[in-house]
Amino acid sequence: MEITLTHYLVLAGLVFITGMVGFIVRRNALVMMMCIELMLCSVNIVFAAFSRLHGNAGGHVFVLMNFAVAASEAAIGLAILVEIYRRRRTVNVDDLKTLME
């Protein structure tokens, strides 16, 4: 059986929906960040699949740029979460109304 574009798109859709549902349902900021990473990974799957379909490297360039954005988002987001945890002793977003206190 040959893997087609449809297989990649279904996989990307399932990964994106998993990340979206996790982001909406869970209230822990760290889990929410991991769900954002899942959604970014699903976009990478779509970029790579269409790049393979059309036979050019443009999609792969976008995947590399997306990896850079995801890595910087994770680093900055984790640094912010560590500082919030040090001050508040929680990373539950329902308990965080303001950043100042």
Distance in angstroms (rounded) separating the CA atoms of residues 79 and 43 = 25
**Tokens at 38, concatenated:** 């899942």
Q: Are 40 and 69 in contact (CB under 8 A)?
A: yes
| pLDDT at site 22 | 96
Q: Are 49 and 55 in contact (CB under 8 A)?
A: no
Q: Can you give the residue ranges of every domain in the chain?
A: 27-95
- Is residue 89's pLDDT more than 70? yes
| pLDDT at site 48 | 95
pLDDT tens figures, 21-75: 999 999 899 999 999 999 999 999 999 999 999 999 999 999 999 999 999 999 9
Between the CA atoms of 19, 20, 21 and 22, what dihedral angle is there, to the nearest 10 degrees? Answer: 50
Pick the CATH number of 27-95 from 2.60.40.3080, 1.10.260.40, 1.10.287.3510, 1.10.10.10: 1.10.287.3510
Distance in angstroms (rounded) separating the CA atoms of residues 44 and 94 = 31
